[in-house]
Amino acid sequence: MTEALMLAQLVRKLEELTALDDVVDRVSDLANSALPPGELKDALHGKHLGHALHPALVALPIGFTIAATLLDFCGDEQDRPAARRLVGAALLLTPPTAASGMADFSELGQSKRPKRVGLVHAGTNAAASVFFTGSWLARRAGRHRTGQALSLLGLTGLGLGGYLGGHLAYSQAVGVNRNADHTPEPSSWTDVAGIDELADGPIRVEVAGQPVMLAKADDGRTYAVGAVCSHLAGDLAEGELTGDCVVCPLHGSTFRLQDGGVVSGPATAAVPAYDVQTLGDRVTIRAQN
């Protein structure tokens, strides 16, 4: 059995470890209490970037600690202050990095599988931070060998945490845009529904193989956007219309009907938007350029 297969099997067992569920629920409640919906949480999700913030922040403390370790083994005594400062910089960046991760963790949906992995991911990174804190204190006290050893332990924790983070991102598709593989269609005007079908609220139609939500807003205009929430694929046709926006029924992500843009998270990517024409009693749409 290859090492990769062994690791994959261990992570699958972790996904099924129901013994973690009580802790998962408590941590989720704590995260939602500490980070209620609002501008701060949206910023931590990465709304203003158009994609998740957490992976970008993670690169900074990892890079600083690796650089410190390189100085430990490739430098000399005069490089010790620089190594200490690099570890310190990594520690300063840890709180916002952890906060962005907790914001994402709190919105992982109903399935416990990614949350179990996310819990252990957070725990290993927290343990790594403890080692790096000890490393910085030891270096500051002049015990450089101890500091170097503690940094190596911290890097081991970061390696495990990084592997689990990669599993969340690439195997469980946490934080990805659920519409990324769709090029909005159709490019020409296409008849999709009768205007009377919108009388009772939003509807979902299939157009060129893609799910589209049609809705008549409070301003009397008819709008069309992709029916799949970019966060965790909630059905926007089952969502609530508020003014010129639609709210996902799963986690409350709010999108503008006019252009599909994100008004509030946890979604970070827009949904496709369509031009709409009403010809008689029929609604026609085409993808916006």
| 3-state SS, residue 214 | strand
77-126: pLDDT as tens digits: 999 999 999 999 999 999 999 999 999 999 987 789 999 999 999 999 99
Smallest CA-to-CA distance from 70 within 57, 91, 58, 87 is with: 87
Query: In which residue ranges of the chain is pLDDT below 50?
Result: none
**pLDDT for the residue numbered 3:** 63
DSSP 8-class letter at 236: G
Q: Which residue has the tokens 């690169």?
A: 59
Question: Where along the chain do its domains lie?
Answer: 3-171, 190-287
In our burial notation (b when 16+ CB lie closer than 10 A, e otherwise), range 153-168 reads bbbebbebbbebbebb
pTM of the complete model: 0.84
3-state secondary structure of 59: helix
Q: What is the CATH number of domain 190-287?
A: 2.102.10.10
* 3-state SS, residue 194: strand
Contact 21, 99 (CB under 8 A): no
Structure confidence at residue 150 (pLDDT): 97
